[in-house]
């Protein structure tokens, strides 16, 4: 299984929907889950100070303490993060003004992937829709923003090329796809005859939590996993 750099959005979704043990399960199957310091700040340190998010923060901290999720801060992280953030937040312009599309957590995740060895199989786990579209389909992102802003939205091609440099070969997945992979490896086997129902409800819980997955995709996952 590939190096999987995890964004806050997916880790919080998995924790809030009681699907967090999927990370332990996949770690045992060779998955390597990594986060940068900014994501650790977003999922553990800051939420721990807020009562409504404190338990989620404790659960995620335990994953880090147990080595299921590793925090990495290589020497080049800060400079690569700044370059990615500058390019991404200049790549789309609304009425000629740059639109901020990503923040520190997403930028550091992408920096880790850019720094990773070129021959590594690199995956970004992210539920946040804007980041995914920026990587996978900038034109679709622009079309959606035009519908939202009802004004001029254009791509700065030079900034987009700078953003894409070193990120051409990464795979982007959502928490729902992680659950689907785990299910195919037997994550829900202990549920016996209810394993398919467990898979379906786990995926549905992630959809309700805000993971951008359509009902058609949920049906496709469950059909594949039967």
C-alpha span between 85 and 100 (Å, rounded): 9
Asked whether 86 and 45 are in contact (CB, 8 A), the reply is no
* Sheet of strand 3-6, all strands in order from the earlier edge strand to the far edge: 69-71, 32-35, 3-6, 122-125, 171-173
Instruction: Give CA–CA dist 134/7, Å, rounded.
Output: 15
pLDDT for residue 212:
59
* Verdict on whether the full-model pTM lies above 0.75: yes
Domains of the chain: 3-173 (3.40.50.1010), 179-226 (no CATH)
At 89-147, the pLDDT tens digits run 999 999 999 999 999 999 999 999 999 988 888 999 999 899 999 999 999 999 999 99
From first to last of its 226 residues, the chain has per-residue pLDDT tens of 578 999 999 999 999 899 999 999 999 999 999 999 999 999 998 776 667 778 888 999 999 999 999 999 999 999 999 999 999 999 999 999 999 999 999 999 999 999 998 888 899 999 989 999 999 999 999 999 999 888 899 999 999 999 999 998 899 999 999 999 999 999 999 999 999 999 999 998 998 887 755 444 444 444 444 4
Report the sign of the C-alpha dihedral through residues 159, 161, 165, 171, in that order. positive
Do the beta carbons of residue 175 and residue 129 sit within 8 Å? Answer: no
């Amino acid at each position: 299984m590939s190096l999987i750099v995890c964004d806050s959005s997916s880790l919080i979704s998995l924790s809030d929907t009681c699907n967090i043990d999927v990370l332990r399960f996949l770690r045992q199957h060779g998955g390597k889950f990594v986060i940068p310091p900014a994501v650790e700040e977003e999922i553990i340190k800051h939420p721990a100070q807020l009562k409504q998010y404190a338990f989620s923060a404790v659960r995620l901290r335990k994953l880090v303490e147990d080595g299921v999720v590793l925090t990495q801060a290589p020497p080049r992280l800060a400079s690569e993060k700044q370059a990615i953030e500058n390019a991404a937040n200049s790549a789309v312009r609304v009425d000629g003004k740059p639109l901020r599309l990503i923040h520190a957590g997403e930028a550091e995740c992408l920096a880790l992937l850019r720094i990773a060895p070129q021959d590594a199989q690199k995956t970004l786990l992210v539920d946040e829709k804007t980041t995914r579209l920026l990587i996978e389909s900038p034109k679709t992102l622009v079309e959606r923003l035009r519908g939202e802003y009802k004004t001029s939205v254009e791509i700065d091609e030079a900034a987009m090329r700078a953003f894409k440099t070193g990120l051409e070969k990464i795979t982007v997945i959502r928490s729902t796809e992680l659950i689907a992979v785990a299910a195919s490896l037997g994550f829900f086997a202990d549920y016996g005859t209810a394993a398919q129902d467990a898979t379906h409800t786990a995926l549905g819980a992630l959809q309700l939590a805000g993971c951008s997955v359509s009902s058609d995709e949920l049906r496709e996952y469950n059909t594949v996993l039967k």
